[in-house]
Chains A and B, each alone.
Chain A
Amino acid sequence: MADSIKQFILATLQEMNYDVEGIDDDSQLGPQGADVSSLALVELAVRVEDEFGVKFSQDEAEELAGKTVGEFCLIVAGRMDPAKSTAE
């Protein structure tokens, strides 16, 4: 499951015109890595919400800057409906 979440996150960032070359599980979403702006983090969170049926507050979305891609994937997986997650 984590792989499909990661693929979606990277594809979305690319669609949003971020350079994802060299971005992996250990890369931060914030200035130490992908350098995604606070508004773009909100957009990323909304797109992830729509894709995986999870929810983030605006503050939570902005705090994603301190998370790595791998950590974000784990958060998303942790919030997904367990039944849906298992089925996939």
Chain B
Amino acid sequence: MSAPNIRAALANDPDLGAGNVLTKLVEHGAAPEGPGITFDVDVDGHAAWTALTLGQLYERVGARAAWLHRNGIGPRDPVAVYVTSSADCLLAFMALNWVGAIPALLNGSMPTDIAPDYIRRLRGVAVLADSAHLDLLEDEDLGDTRLFNVADLGGGIAADAPAPYHFDGGDPIAITHSSGTTRIPAAVVHSHSSLFAATRQVRLSGARAHDDERILSALPAAHTAGILTLHQALCRRSELLFLSEQGGPFSGSGSTVLDAIERWHPTAVYGFAVTWAELARFDLTGRDLDSVSVWFNTGDCAHETHVRPLVAVGSHAAYTREKGVVRLPGSRFIDGIGSTEMGYSGFRISHQPDSNRYGRCVGRPHIFADVALLDLETGAEVPAGTVGHLGLKSPTLALGYWNDSVNTYRTRRDGYYLTGDLMYRDEDGYYYHVDRAVDAVDLGGGNWLYTAMSEERILVRCPDVRDCTVVAGSAGGTIVTDVLLLLASGADPDADRSAAVCEALGEPAAATLRRIVAVPDEDIVVGPTGKVRKFLMRQRHLAGAAAS
């Protein structure tokens, strides 16, 4: 069946959801020689960087499903997956869904002092781990949870796989974890319908796009965004290259991603904010990026200074009155804001070389998102221009926190899920993210320090600063603010940037400024997805403040 007809067939299948995309594609007659996935590692002898067709992918996942079935893994069994490569992660995910189990995906970079406790809290029946992670777990007391080497799964016989499990829309099909800005990441459970709602409403209903024909993913496979990308690529019959580990250790990931673009020539590159920050290390004009039409960001919204160099390169097809369809220089950057719990970005904005709506603008709500900015004291919506807490009603919302009803219900109010984000909207209906609620600091007198918005404003005012982190909190009853700068290559570490930083912070917050310091990368504490762990940064810096 042709790709357009497949999309219509999928859109009209009410049983299709996040737990059965692969098997439904085959059931609906998608061409087996069509695109499956390309990985950056070998898969059961199939060479890295060589595309698996849909038929090959189905057979390799079927083999794994057969192995799991033979080893007693079945419906409703929570199974942790703790691996490094995107291939091991995504193939295990699809195979576990095939047998009706609930894959609980761990980022392979989850620290080893945290992962065993996280796994114990899952109360799962098994862990699938690669050799490196098995070594880390072998001395841990995981109770009755069985340990399997994920490499063994490919030894199954696809023909022995059971019939794909039939999911109801509300059935749990995946547990993914948040970025873990405090100690133990939250385990978030998604349903068959919730984790597919956006793909159904946006990707299957939207027009066929020329710019997502070849998608390079630098997203972490084990996270919500990784699963969403897998499903939308398969459903739209796009080619997909899924890099492992977001391109590797972050300080070298920008180089890995650029090399991958030049080697594979994607039309679209998907990533988290950290990927764009890392690409900012490079002069992109000297690289062969012409194939890229769109950069797609999810998770935290991106900084203007990281977006502008990206949209200035690449190329895109356009229709002109004079010449019809032509290829023009420049690309688009799709931004928004999403989280593990939200299940998809709640907002969307498109930046182009000639667009100027930045300042942490995340655009307008997606068609499926009912959003409200709330005053949590009164429960009322705040007016335009006033900062409120983001509440979201959406079919994409996760079911809740696995084995944690307390926090599942603590984050609900009047039917809204409280995302923990502070935002305002303008009179035109555009929304702007100012900070995570836990990171914002009350300065008194109605004044607040919003750390994320301050970082955006500092970066715009200091072009030789590649990235920055604002750490603020109370030390001994006094609010202090430290501004930590990651400088661009060649920038003067001793330059006086205090005037620009104070202007960026604004007067009330500038009065709390203790120091501005250029720091090496390793001084910034990040979680497994590259997100800065401000909770730990505050602890460290406020302890330093108390000591000094």
A-side residues, CB < 8 A to B, are 29-32, 35-43, 46, 50, 58-59, 62-66
Contacts and interface: CB of A to CB of B under 8 A. Distances in A.
Interface string B197-209: 0000000111111
The 4 closest A-B pairs by CB, nearest first: A65-B207, A38-B207, A43-B319, A37-B208
Nearest to B364: A59
Interface stretch (B4-12, B57-65, B250-258, B466-474): B4-12
Contact of B206 (A40, A42, A58, A66): A66
Given A39-B325, A59-B350, A65 B206 contact: yes
A46 B206 contact: no
Contacts of B210: 37-39
Given A36-B207, A43-B319, 14 more contacts: A29-B207, A30-B207, A31-B206, A31-B208, A37-B209, A38-B208, A38-B210, A39-B210, A39-B325, A58-B350, A62-B206, A62-B207, A63-B206, A66-B205
A35 B208 contact: yes
A48 to B, nearest CB: 12
A23 to B, nearest CB: 14
B319 A50 contact: no
B357 to A, nearest CB: 12
A63 B348 CA distance: 12
Contact of A42 (B204, B319, B367): B319
A39 B319 contact: yes
B4 A46 contact: no
A65 B206 CA distance: 5
A40 B318 CA distance: 9
A47 to B, nearest CB: 9
B4 A35 contact: yes
A5 to B, nearest CB: 20
A68 to B, nearest CB: 12
B317 interface: yes
Contacts of B324: 43
Contacts of B7: 31
B321 interface: yes
Contacts of B207: 29-31, 36-38, 40-41, 62, 64-65
